[in-house]
Structure 1
């Protein structure tokens, strides 16, 4: 299954969704534009409100002081101090209050008695009316300015007491001015403020429009519901694929991990967002995810599985954004390959024995034709003894018939290649259960084949096999080859290439199978230098004792 093919379904869904008539301001870009315009409007309103509040405060401070000054000037005028109590005072002092209004630009000037009755007013209709002095302290002999409501109009009022020679308050000089309207306050801030507000609104609208266009371009014109639908389909697709899928960005962080990959690698959802080297992956898998070759199937053997991985670069708009690796579980395939190798080994052994027997029969036939019957008897005896020696050398130490048969066959096959296969003198193996015997044959077959291959041409060409079931089951195979460099002793068990002949060092899946089978039994496998050169492979299976005892019970 190719992931890119499945993504074609999502493309069709997107095309269908794009035909929806719900565009305009109902689109994501349109909604974002409206939202940005609302934000700009709120900012402009806030700026205007701050400006109005500042203008109001300045008006109150500046004009309040002016109202106090005009009221003090009116209260200190001699005619006001002398004639405030006369009959017809409204006509006598009318010019004074009118002059106060004219000089200050105030809206209203009045003289009020301490009880709140208006004696004189620049608005004749208010003469004789009763007013509420509010929080004013002028009736107590103190000048005051503040906010009062005059005939329902919010006004700034300044009041100053008119004192008699005795110091008593005999009247109050009051000068007031209504607060300017909102537009007047904004206008008072100057044309510059209006210009900046207009410029800010224009720039905000332009920036919002450009940003909405950018969002539309980066989201490919998709709307919120469409993006959510596409994401849902993508998640359903990736997590339903039987193959594992792992995406890694350019920094080496895992950005995607589907269900199959989690199962194959033994990870959880928490691994997404973490670096490849920090989630406990097998080192060979981690190295491949970070630096593997593109477009090549690579087999990596972990301690429990055989994985076939393929890594491809991922790009977006021409830029590399990371890699996508697909993986398949090839454990069963590797086991079948091991069985096939065992059958091939048996076939090769039979071929070698057939060749050997044919040569011996030809010799016997010639001797018979020559009438050398004594020589025939001597040759047959020698061959029988040699065969018996080989069988005895194996069966005296190896009681399991399947393992013994394998060693006898491998001895003959190795001899055909010019390699001597020997059984260590201290070897001992009792009968095994059929399942365990099959696994032991797999281990021995691969190790012996590998040892024979690397020992061909060496002097002396020898492979030594040791078996010990005293504590668990120990298997050792020593060759006379060049040995394994220390820096490759882990790699030879973990990595091989299927469908490609150029395996590093000529090693394929055989040694990887050795570690896999060993791990399935909870055992260990390692390679070191042999006592007389070459390589020494050692396998230990802790479950072998239990299995053997169960088979013998």
Structure 2
């Protein structure tokens, strides 16, 4: 059978740390060796240079050397003295240099007759110690001038020089000397590195839940792929309020800059209510917030690690399009309800007229028809005299019939004045007015003398909608967050509530307007929409 080839097993964390420790230790040993070799050169130069110079000075001051080098005699004696100096100092070679800077006597017979470059000042009577090239090998040399004392030579005249050389130890010799110490150092270092790598690996694996580096990398890749594929935004905040995780979709929904991750949440430009939801002490379920003209649904959960709070993880969903769709459905439902209410009203009126006709009360039937006609015309005329926009006027007339069926009186303020509007503004104003009226009718229904007052005006280039109801009003503690949280006076049901007021705020903000609420014998909502075309 064919078998799948086995992939090489990734190196463990401890193994990687041990390899790193070994590499670092070898580098340290290499650097230490270089420094040690340089230091040994300096020590060799200082210690051996002084001894070679003392030996050269002793030989240069010997009378047979001063006489023999000066007149070129006593070769055997000079060789004996040179050999004796070499034996005493352990030098590599001892040379006696005569006139012309050529070697006349040497412990190395092959060097006799060679010329040698004397160091600076030796020809003038000064001693010199330093490095020179001895047939391709580096050596330290001590050169001392020889002062001649034979007849015919002026006192103090330099007749030659004593040169004592010693070659530096070779690399192999130095390694033989230092290798035991280096091996001991390396063994101790590797042992300590092995123990340290093992302890460090245990510590890191304990902090990383026992995961190896390859597994951590896989988790990071999976997390990145997961966050990228999610349409919902994900935002994580630690206990200190720092953003530790921010998906691209969450950054776009909250309109945050690209460098937001790693910054304090309080330093970001977010609405106060959103900040409270993100860093609050309680879990948040399906909270509605308006950010930059978008309606977002937030769910936030506290994260507990080892029994201690570690921060929060919040998911965000964009509900703006859903709200727009729900607004359209609500508008269709409102039209349906209005038609149903009018059908019910007309059916009752027709039944009454039909009964009067059967009773042959023709005059009474005529008076009833005239009364109904005048009442309907009065309502339409009253609205049309004050509201020139036909779409808004038609909505008010329809809402009046719908409110009447629920025993709520819907009245337009006599001082209302609204001109004909542009089509897009008319549609937006209709959305705002319809939602506010529906909300007010729901709040006032069932109360004694239920009433909803509507006032439509234009003020300073703004279309102003004011809707007041005789209901219980908005709870004082929720006035500040009524729109952000999608507050509703309607009871919850399967269709979901609290979207109407949020949609009102979205429409107003998109046009550069605003909406507010206060209590005055009931809730009073005021919305302002600019009538210009420079809205966002």
TM over 0.5, yes or no? Answer: yes
Q: In the alignment, is residue 474 of structure 1 matched against residue 460 of structure 2?
A: no
| C-alpha distance in structure 1 between counterparts of 2:73 and 2:491, whole Å | 127
| C-alpha distance in structure 1 between counterparts of 2:346 and 2:133, whole Å | 131
1:467 Cα deviation after fit: 1.3
Q: In the alignment, is residue 139 of structure 1 matched against residue 128 of structure 2?
A: no
- 1:347-374 per-position Cα deviation (integer Å, ceiling 9, x unaligned): 5556666777788788889999999999
Q: In the alignment, is residue 515 of structure 1 matched against residue 505 of structure 2?
A: yes
| C-alpha distance in structure 2 between counterparts of 1:48 and 1:295, whole Å | 65
Query: For residue 152 of structure 2, what is the aligned residue in structure 1?
Result: none
Q: In the alignment, is residue 74 of structure 1 matched against residue 59 of structure 2?
A: yes
Q: In the alignment, is residue 424 of structure 1 matched against residue 410 of structure 2?
A: no
1:157 aligned to which of 106, 121, 141? 141
The gaps in structure 1 that reach 5 residues or longer are: 1-17, 547-553
1:52 Cα deviation after fit: 0.9
Task: Give TM-score scaled by structure 1 length.
Answer: 0.74
- Indicate the structure with greater helix content: 1
Alignment of 1:447-458 (within 5 A): 447-455=436-444
Query: For residue 491 of structure 1, what is the aligned residue in structure 2?
Result: 481
Task: Give TM-score scaled by structure 2 length.
Answer: 0.76
1:39 Cα deviation after fit: 3.6
| C-alpha distance in structure 1 between counterparts of 2:68 and 2:119, whole Å | 27
1:56 Cα deviation after fit: 0.6
Query: For residue 7 of structure 1, what is the aligned residue in structure 2?
Result: none
Contact 1:264 1:329 in 2 (8 A): yes
Partner-residue secondary structure (3-state), 1:538:
strand
- 1:27-59 per-position Cα deviation (integer Å, ceiling 9, x unaligned): 998777656534432221111110110111011
Q: In the alignment, is residue 130 of structure 1 matched against residue 114 of structure 2?
A: yes
Q: Aligned pair count? A: 518
Query: For residue 549 of structure 1, what is the aligned residue in structure 2?
Result: none
Contact 1:110 1:175 in 2 (8 A): yes
The gaps in structure 2 that reach 5 residues or longer are: 150-154
1:535 Cα deviation after fit: 3.9
1:288 Cα deviation after fit: 3.6
Structure 1's 386 and 96: CA in aligned 2 closer, same or farther, altered over 3 A? same
1:160 Cα deviation after fit: 1.5
1:439 aligned to which of 405, 411, 428? 428
Contact 2:288 2:297 in 1 (8 A): yes
Query: For residue 113 of structure 1, what is the aligned residue in structure 2?
Result: 98
Structure 1's 383 and 319: CA in aligned 2 closer, same or farther, altered over 3 A? same
Structure 1's 399 and 139: CA in aligned 2 closer, same or farther, altered over 3 A? closer
Partner-residue secondary structure (3-state), 1:465:
strand
Q: In the alignment, is residue 51 of structure 1 matched against residue 43 of structure 2?
A: no
Query: For residue 10 of structure 1, what is the aligned residue in structure 2?
Result: none
RMSD (Å) for aligned C-alpha atoms: 4.8
Structure 1's 350 and 545: CA in aligned 2 closer, same or farther, altered over 3 A? same
2:513 aligned to which of 509, 516, 524? 524
2:242 aligned to which of 252, 275, 282? 252
Partner-residue secondary structure (3-state), 1:334:
helix
| C-alpha distance in structure 2 between counterparts of 1:129 and 1:205, whole Å | 62
| C-alpha distance in structure 2 between counterparts of 1:492 and 1:295, whole Å | 16
Contact 2:453 2:467 in 1 (8 A): yes
Contact 1:297 1:310 in 2 (8 A): yes
Structure 1's 331 and 545: CA in aligned 2 closer, same or farther, altered over 3 A? closer
Contact 1:463 1:480 in 2 (8 A): yes
Structure 1's 34 and 523: CA in aligned 2 closer, same or farther, altered over 3 A? closer
1:494 Cα deviation after fit: 2.4
1:174 aligned to which of 163, 167, 171? 163
Query: For residue 330 of structure 1, what is the aligned residue in structure 2?
Result: 319
| C-alpha distance in structure 1 between counterparts of 2:424 and 2:138, whole Å | 102
| C-alpha distance in structure 2 between counterparts of 1:458 and 1:42, whole Å | 89
